[in-house]
Amino acid sequence: MTSTVSASGLSLHYGGTRALDEVSLRLTPGVTGLIGPNGAGKTTLLRVLATAVPPQRGEFTVLGHDPGSLRGRQEVRRRLGYLPQTPGFHPDFTAFEFVDYVAILKELNQRSARHGEVRRVLDEVGLGEVRGRKIKKLSGGMRQRVALAAALVGDPGFLVLDEPTVGLDPEQRMRFRELIAQAGEGRTVLLSTHQTEDVAMLCHRVLVMAGGRIHFDGTPAELAAQAAGRVWSSAERAPHAKAGWRTGTGTFRNVGDPPPGAELLEPTLEDGYLLTLDGYGMAVTA
Ligand SMILES: Nc1ncnc2c1ncn2[C@@H]1O[C@H](COP(=O)(O)OP(=O)(O)OP(=O)(O)O)[C@@H](O)[C@H]1O
């Protein structure tokens, strides 16, 4: 399959901090999850791919265009949707006005066609009915949907979503999950999140990032399989487990190196994530 995004050797340092350290990747249509601890470099990678900040080293293309040149950057921006970690809403704008403003920035110059597109994306995220309402009057979940609608303006081939479900209640998160899955049909979505559940349920592929580098690239099932044979149940807390807690049934669920004869449990994506990071000396041990 041809790649929508192809990056090689992307690096970006802030003083002595290696926010991005020689990152190479290829992204194809579908939803790819990006997970990693705080400060791993996820937002920096997303900002670079969204052309908000240039890398200090390395190169990449989006849908065949190289953002290294001004012309290439314009072509990429026309084909890109970006939902940043903190969308800069003007609270007195209505949902329609905000998305229309973003559509103007995306150079949809013809007014009636642009307004049609704004209505289309607001309908797509289920906000058609409240498009005239001020953003400050909308719930957190609705605001995130306005931000998603803004990212979807112009039907971009590459969609970058930075922690879009943070702070949402479970119902809103499920609703948002549906929208992301829908957005990932036929287009390439890169989703940064701390919600491993979102990755398990949505993504065809997952990248684990820490210390500015990608340490795992595979399917969610392959990430879970990293913990095969390393999750077990016990009556008491296992002293050498990397993580362990008493579950609702009263037994302990442990992750790490089980003793001989331990009762092994099915690993989850989160277990695989923890052990992947631990392999690089980056996980917090219990
Ligand atoms: N503008 C900046 N100036 C200085 N350091 C920065 C800047 N932006 C990011 N960093 C540093 O770069 C590293 C990567 O940060 P980044 O925000 O990309 O991580 P993240 O994985 O998105 O974290 P989180 O999950 O907390 O959002 C961190 O050490 C951070 O402190």
* Least confident stretch, 108-117, 199-208, 233-242: 233-242
pLDDT in tens, 135-164: 999 988 889 899 999 999 999 999 999 999
Q: How far is the CA of 57 from the centre of ligand 1 (A)?
A: 17
Residue 285 has pLDDT above 90, yes or no: no
Mean pLDDT value of segment 118-124:
95
In this prediction, residue 281 has a pLDDT band, given cuts at 50, 70 and 90, of: low
Mean pLDDT value of segment 63-91:
89
Q: Is the CB of 38 under 6 A from ligand 1?
A: yes
Which ligand 1 atom sits nearest the alpha carbon of residue 45? 18
Q: How far is the CA of 23 from the centre of ligand 1 (A)?
A: 15
pTM: 0.93
Q: How far is the CA of 39 from the centre of ligand 1 (A)?
A: 5
Note the pLDDT of residue 91: 78
How far, in Å, CA of 26 to CA of 15, rounded? 28
How far, in Å, CA of 54 to CA of 142, rounded? 31
How far, in Å, CA of 139 to CA of 267, rounded? 36
pLDDT in tens, 214-228: 999 999 999 999 999
Which ligand 1 atom sits nearest the alpha carbon of residue 43? 22
Sequence-distant (6+) residues with CB within 8 A of 278 are 242, 285
What are phi and psi for residue 176, nearest 5 degrees? -70, -35
Note the pLDDT of residue 278: 84
Note the pLDDT of residue 166: 85
User: In this structure, are residues 253 and 263 in contact, taking their beta carbons and an 8 Å threshold?
Assistant: no
pLDDT in tens, 17-65: 999 999 999 999 999 999 999 999 999 999 999 999 999 999 999 999 9
Note the pLDDT of residue 282: 62
Residue 113 has pLDDT above 60, yes or no: yes
Mean pLDDT, the chain, as a whole number? 92
User: In this structure, are residues 156 and 187 in contact, taking their beta carbons and an 8 Å threshold?
Assistant: yes
Q: How far is the CA of 96 from the centre of ligand 1 (A)?
A: 32
Q: Is the CB of 40 under 6 A from ligand 1?
A: yes
DSSP codes of every residue in the chain:
---SEEEEEEEEEETTEEEEEEEEEEE-SEEEEEE--TTSSHHHHHHHHTTSS--SEEEEEETTB-TTSHHHHHHHHHTEEEE-SS----TTSBHHHHHHHHHHHTT---HHHHHHHHHHHHHHTT-GGGTTSBGGGS-HHHHHHHHHHHHHTT--SEEEEESTTTT--HHHHHHHHHHHHHHTSSSEEEEE-S-HHHHHHH-SEEEEEETTEEEEEE-HHHHHHTTTT-EEEESS--TT-SEEEE-TTSSEEEES-PPTT-EE----HHHHHHHHHHHTT-SPP-
Residue 108 has pLDDT above 60, yes or no: yes
What are phi and psi for residue 17, nearest 5 degrees? -90, 125
How far, in Å, CA of 73 to CA of 65, rounded? 8
Q: How far is the CA of 200 from the centre of ligand 1 (A)?
A: 25
Note the pLDDT of residue 286: 42
Mean pLDDT value of segment 79-94:
86
The domains found in the chain, sorted by start residue, are 5-217 (3.40.50.300), 224-279 (no CATH)
Query: What is the residue with the minimal CA distance to atom 11 of ligand 1?
Result: 19
Sequence-distant (6+) residues with CB within 8 A of 251 are 233, 234, 235
Note the pLDDT of residue 283: 53
Q: Is the CB of 36 under 6 A from ligand 1?
A: yes
Query: What is the residue with the minimal CA distance to atom 16 of ligand 1?
Result: 41
